[in-house]
């Protein structure tokens, strides 16, 4: 099995700076990190090939697209139908992520919606998938800690 490359000090410095300002120029990054311009360029290029970075889509706020509501739908599934349920979920646009969790026949489905009615509709379409036994929806009311990765960089290198 291929072992994935893990960030070193150089990567940490670059990523830290990019978080502060995603549009920093190669030269600015090089100075900030005390590196050569070509080194910066090599790393930045490498990130793509290695897929160390997610797609740009991860930066887009669903609210900006008109979906301000977010919810988690815990979905109990007939075990044999896991795959087909996964496919059916993928066919629902409002489903933005589906995770299979350990030791259970539950799926954790993250959805977005335009409003409360819309959410109700989406939850309904999940429940109507063949193989889904029951669902439990929890609307995200408050983000006590917003998605963050930054602090992990400090534990790198």
77-136: which residues touch its own copies (CB under 8 A)?
A: 82, 86, 89-90, 93-104, 106-108, 110, 112
Q: H or E segment at 87?
A: helix 82-90
Q: Please name which of 25, 17, 41 lies closest in space to residue 150, comparing C-alpha atoms.
A: 17
Residue listed under structure tokens 């978080």 = 19
40-79: which residues touch its own copies (CB under 8 A)?
A: 50-68, 72
Give DSSP secondary structure letters for 9-21.
Answer: HHHHHHHHHHHH-
**Minimum CB distance to its own copies, residue 36 (Å):** 21
Is 43 a residue that touches DNA (CB under 7 A)?
yes
7, 10, 32, 153: residue in contact with DNA (rule CB under 7 A)? 10
**Minimum CB distance to DNA, residue 7 (Å):** 11
Q: Please name which of 4, 30, 5 lies closest in space to residue 17, comparing C-alpha atoms.
A: 30
Q: Is 124 helix (H, G, I), strand (E, B) or coil?
A: helix
* Residues binding its own copies (CB under 8 A): 4-7, 11, 15, 18-19, 22, 50-68, 72, 82, 86, 89-90, 93-104, 106-108, 110, 112, 138-156
């Amino acid at each position: 099995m291929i072992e994935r490359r893990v960030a070193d000090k150089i990567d940490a410095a670059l990523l830290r700076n990019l978080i502060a300002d995603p549009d920093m120029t190669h030269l600015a990054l090089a100075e900030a990190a005390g590196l050569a311009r070509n080194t910066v360029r090599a790393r930045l290029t490498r990130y793509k090939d290695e897929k160390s970075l997610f797609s740009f889509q991860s930066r887009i706020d669903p609210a900006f697209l008109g979906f301000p509501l977010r919810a988690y739908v815990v979905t109990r599934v007939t075990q044999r139908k896991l795959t087909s349920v996964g496919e059916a979920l993928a066919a629902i646009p409002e489903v933005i992520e589906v995770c299979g969790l350990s030791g259970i026949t539950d799926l954790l489905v993250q959805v977005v919606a335009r409003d409360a009615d819309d959410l109700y509709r989406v939850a309904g379409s999940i429940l109507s998938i063949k193989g889904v036994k029951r669902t439990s929806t929890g609307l995200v009311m408050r983000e006590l800690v917003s998605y963050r990765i930054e602090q992990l960089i400090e534990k790198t290198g």
